[in-house]
Structure 1
Amino acid sequence: MVRVLVAAQILSGAGLAAGITVGALLAKDMLDSTGLAGLPSALFTAGSALAAVAVGRMSQARGRRPGLAAGYLVGAAGSLGVVAAAAVDDPVLLFVALFVYGAGTATNLQARYAGADLANASHRGRAVATVLVATTLGGVVGPNLAAPTGALAEALGIPHLAGPFLLAAAAYALAALVLTLWLRPDPLLLARTLPVDGDSSAAEAGTSTAAAPARTGGSVAVGALVMAVTQLVMVAIMTMTPVHIHDHGHGTAASGLVIAIHVGAMYLPSPLTGWLVDRYGRLPVAAAAGLTLLAAGLLAATAPGDSVALLALALALLGVGWNFGLLAGTAIVADAVPIATRAKTQGLVDVSIAIAGAAGGLGSGLVVAAASYPALALTGGVLAVAVVPVVAHASRGRRELDLGVRSSTAE
């Protein structure tokens, strides 16, 4: 079951990398506007918000397999729509297709919950990490295929920048096929047959508070906020980095390399992050996310525009900070939501992530057009620090709850 999820994530990772690598450049060329270059990222993240609800509801009703497969098929259709829009030079069709393409992004994220369906609380971070890290291979290979897929597109009479979306269409369709044929039994449907939501083993083993955090009503909100803020900052800075690199005389190969390093950093640290989440707790890792994103923003803001190496390092830190926030936030939400409403609630949580990403994508182009890329990077880094006081407040609340439980037990 895990191997099937891993295979699908590798494929879908190549699909989602297309929009990151050339989406902004394609829009800039078609619209002849830097201010609107962030629009593709905003559109496909907005589309992912709607898809997150749909995939979550379908998964709740029928299981992870049909929900995830349907999401990837819609993402494949959107990818083909982007190719068609570029071929006929139709911006309106491009916008609609990018919105539909966002379903692939939402589904790739939703798959992480499938990894946690059968895990107990003490191993939930590592279970999510196993699925996420699989995205690394596709996510790193995909951007580096920007040049060859662009050449293929030109050979077919299609604009060069539409090439990666040909890869995305094939990758998403194959991911849907893999899940449909081999994700059996369905992890969510199987989890519903377990006696105590998969957490009884953790309780019997006497795991620590860090390994099996107390379930509090505020956990869903805290987890959602952590993921939304980290997504907004990551998308905003990531979206305009290829444009920034291009404006300083570098080609798509340089942009592809930087984005490949960024996507690798988004997913490759997952096993370590999952261990940290399970060993030291969700909240400390969430705080580390905010601080890491601050460092990324500061480095991106101060790096010379012609220094691909420093921008690659900044984007690597951006990816690691996002990874910290996503795994910690996912574990917080998974701890707090009962199996009866799990998929539906997780879909709604991912809506907040998608909306934040859409805001970051749309706002990024406007900020760069009005000010500069360094101003965008600095603003994003400072905004990310907002996670820290939220986490500190939640941590104090948890300690007070633990003290109350211990006092009542002693009595």
Structure 2
Amino acid sequence: MTRITARWIAEPAPQAVCAMLTEAGHQALFVGGCVRDALLNVPVGDIDIATDAHPEKVMALARDAGMKAVPTGIDHGTITVIASGQPFEITTFRRDVKTDGRRAVVAFAARMEDDALRRDFTMNALYARPDGTVLDPVGQGLADLAQRRFRFILDPAQRIREDYLRILRFFRFHAWYGDPDAGMETETLAAIAQEVEGIDSLSRERIGAEMRKLLSAHDPAQSVAVMAQCGALSLALPGADARGLGPLVHLEDRVAPDPIRRLAILGGEDPASALRLSKAEARQLALLRDAMASPAAPAELGYRHGAVLTRDILLLRAALFELPLDPEAMLAAEAGAAQVFPVRPADLMPALSGPQLGATLRRLEATWIASGFTLDRAALLNRA
């Protein structure tokens, strides 16, 4: 019998929430990511609970127990219960009534088995009792988890047609948790290739959110390469090229994953629109793409963009040409980042103003950079 022994499951808050349900005669089962991650010994984020109690009953029980209940997704059976300041999403068992590839019409169910069959992957359909005992209602989740193998529940094509975002979720989960040496399950890849055009029916917001998560994995290169082979990448990010991602990931070494940096190496026709990037993300991406193609030296890049962004630019340049990162270039970038232009606008006024003032400042700055930052204020003003 498999049991979860992670510390979080025995803490007072999750146990109190489960007791709120079980003492009223209802089931309370931890489900999904928290169970999967606990068994994989990776940090657990959100703690989700499945129950046979209907949402209105969950809210009433929470109030009686002195807990705050928020109807965050009551139409879909989800109530967020706050216990000791910690949120828990409690969702009533459900079964699909109708799906169209983007959203599902669901009905409440009384059995965990029905709830499990509407989930996506076998290892995401694992449940755990409050005492940590793990339940595997589809019969394959534990075995697949042990092998870090992602498979859809039952017919993969049917699971995909229920929600085409599951294609991108498959590649994201494989990047985060899959065994890269074992590769991907052939039946699953065949179903993805058959249904891949369904990605076009998804909103760009959903695609963008999933791609960010994928590109935040430690090493998403294999997943993205297979996405390119089956046509999913070009639908999610038109014009993208996966070839530079592997070299970039290799060069990043101890640098934390950054989805925007990785987007820069993938390219694409209009990634900001395709993935609905925020304005800040779009600005960062545009800067990285422009700078990696510019002739500016590392010292100038460091001065203009700071050491961190310049490190990213140098990583992208090295990955583009499949070269090692030059440590001398990084030193030059850090030195440039420490420089402060010695001439201020007030130094040139009132003799110069308006566009002439701006043009002269830019010319003097370029001269100062070309000198290796050696010209001082007096020398620069003599050239004004």
TM-score, normalized by the shorter chain, greater than 0.5: no
The one of the two structures with greater contact order (alpha-carbon pairs below 8 A, sep at least 6) is: 1
Calculate the TM-score normalised by the size of structure 2. Answer: 0.22
